[in-house]
Amino acid sequence: MPELSSNIYSETDGSNNQSAPNGMPEGMPPSGVNDAWRAGWGALLRFWGRIQGKYASTGSANAYVLTPAIALAAYVTGERYSFRSNFANTGAASLNISSLGAKTIKKMGAAGKTDLASGDIQNGQPVTVEYDGTDLVMTTPVATVGFLGGTLTSTTAMSGAAFNETFATIASAATTDIGAAAANYLQVTGTTAITGLGTVQAGTERTLEFSGVLTFTHNSASLILPGGVSITTAAGDVAIVRSEGSGNWRCISYVRNPSLPATKSVMQAGTDNVLMATAARVNDHDGVAKTAVFFNASGAIQGTSENVSGVVKNSTGNYTVNFTTAFANANYIAMITPDNAGLGGGAYGCFTSARGTGAVTVQIWNMVANTATDPGNGVNVVCFGRQ
């Protein structure tokens, strides 16, 4: 019984002149014509069935079996065979056609032929393989299409696509091995202090979102954090870290949860280098003046002032500056500078004659005459302290 894949038929029309049913020689008897045509049509239909997936496979456990109605006589190098799979594979798989012996099903990867991975063939999937003399190599796409491995050695342009990985969670631990996680965006759960992030090739980046409070511990070699200090995380904080190889990581960005700005106590401590200082909280830092005013000899405020509700002239060179918001205690710093231009020669000084949480009284003094005096142009008062 001739087959299209055998050497019986020729691609040259005139060479198909063997005796019927393998050919149609010149002047053949009429009785052989029907046999030749029947053989040709049979071979054509069998070939069609083999490459069109006419048959569903049987078998199980990664061993596919294909049983055409007319048995295949032999595997032929270069011939293709198609089937509809009856199960999904879970690993390396084989196909046995017409009991000719199981042949390994391979797929093509960056390094050449390779065994199938789990899920490369799904239940009901049309599959076509080609015999290469050793294995049956898939010519149809695997079901789990993806990057097959290898190294990108030059700039690769992407159009309408991106490398995306799923969001994942990872529990905090002394060494939280983010390098081994199969995701670039990780939510760190738990409260265990972190002192290391695992080992992965240099240049690897991960984005970490913390779900709660833990200590992100600074180390000058293995976990370099902004400002060289450890960070107490808060829910919603986000860090971007980059591997420098050999288990060493550097935090290149740390953003606090925008709903958690720096508090008054944090601003007064002045040690946090990652919390956001809002306009309402900047004034809480100890290095910021809480009161500032310039007033003339009569006590009238000149220009703008800060945290001053008014100035009262008590007597010659004696003024009380009243605060809009009181200080926490009376141990604040009061800097007083008289502007005595126009008073002529002499030495002038100033001091506080009384102070309270809500006001400070200042005195201008002529050091030569040893007497109180009004300032020539006015007085500057600036106070530092906690409110």
In a domain, residue 150? The reply is no
Enumerate the β-bridge partners of residue 112.
Answer: 109
Residues 186 and 101 in one domain: no
* 118 is a domain residue: yes
Q: Kind of pairing, strands 58-60 and 80-84? A: unpaired
List Cβ<8 Å contacts ≥24 apart for 62-67: 62/89, 62/90, 62/91, 62/92, 62/93, 62/94, 63/93, 63/94, 63/96, 63/102, 64/93, 64/94, 64/95, 64/96, 64/105, 65/95, 65/96, 66/95, 66/96, 66/97, 66/98, 67/97, 67/98, 67/99
Q: Are residues 128 and 173 in the same domain?
A: no
* 377 in the same domain as 326: yes
Percentage of the chain exceeding pLDDT 70 = 83
Q: What pLDDT is attached to residue 275?
A: 66
Cβ neighbors of 323 (< 8 A, separation 6 or more) are 290, 291, 307, 308, 309, 357, 358, 359, 360, 383
180 and 245 inside one domain: yes
Q: pLDDT tier at 387 (50, 70, 90 boundaries)? A: confident
Q: Is residue 160 part of a domain?
A: no
- 148 pLDDT higher than 60: no
Residue 352 lies inside a defined structural domain of this protein: yes
* Arithmetic mean of pLDDT, 93-110: 95
**372 has a pLDDT exceeding 70:** yes
Residues 32 and 76 in one domain: no
- The pLDDT, as a whole number, for residue 62 is 97
pLDDT over threshold 90, residue 368: no
pLDDT in tens, 297-313: 999 999 999 999 999 99
The band of 14, judged by pLDDT with boundaries at 50, 70 and 90, is: low
pLDDT category at 294 given cuts 50, 70, 90 is very high
Which pLDDT band holds residue 152 (cuts at 50, 70, 90)?
Answer: low
34 and 78 inside one domain: no
At residue 239, the pLDDT reads: 96
186 neighbors 207 (Cβ within 8 angstroms) = yes
**What is the pLDDT at residue 163?**
66
Assess contact for 360 and 354: CB atoms under 8 A.
yes
- Does 239 lie in the same domain as 198? yes
Instruction: Give yes or no: residues 96 and 18 share one domain.
Output: no
Determine the pLDDT at residue 346: 55
Shared domain for 65 and 42, answered yes or no, is no
Are residues 123 and 201 located together in one domain of the fold?
no
Which of 157-171, 221-235, 261-275 holds the top average pLDDT? Answer: 221-235
Residues 218 and 172 in one domain: yes
Mean of the per-residue pLDDT values of the chain: 86
Please report whether residue 261 resides in a domain: no
The residue out of 205, 232, 255 marking a domain boundary is 255
Least reliable range by pLDDT among 70-74, 208-212, 286-290 = 286-290
Q: Which amino acid is at 4?
A: L
Please tell me whether residues 180 and 250 are part of one structural domain: yes
Q: Is the pLDDT reported for residue 342 higher than 70?
A: no
Q: Assign residue 305 a region: left if phi > 0, alpha if psi is -120 to 50, beta otherwise?
A: beta
Per-residue pLDDT band for 183 (boundaries 50, 70, 90) equals confident
Q: How many structural domains is the chain composed of? A: 4
**What mean pLDDT is predicted for residues 57-70?**
94
Q: What is the pLDDT of residue 310?
A: 97
Parent domain of 231: 168-255
Residue 259 has pLDDT above 80, yes or no: no
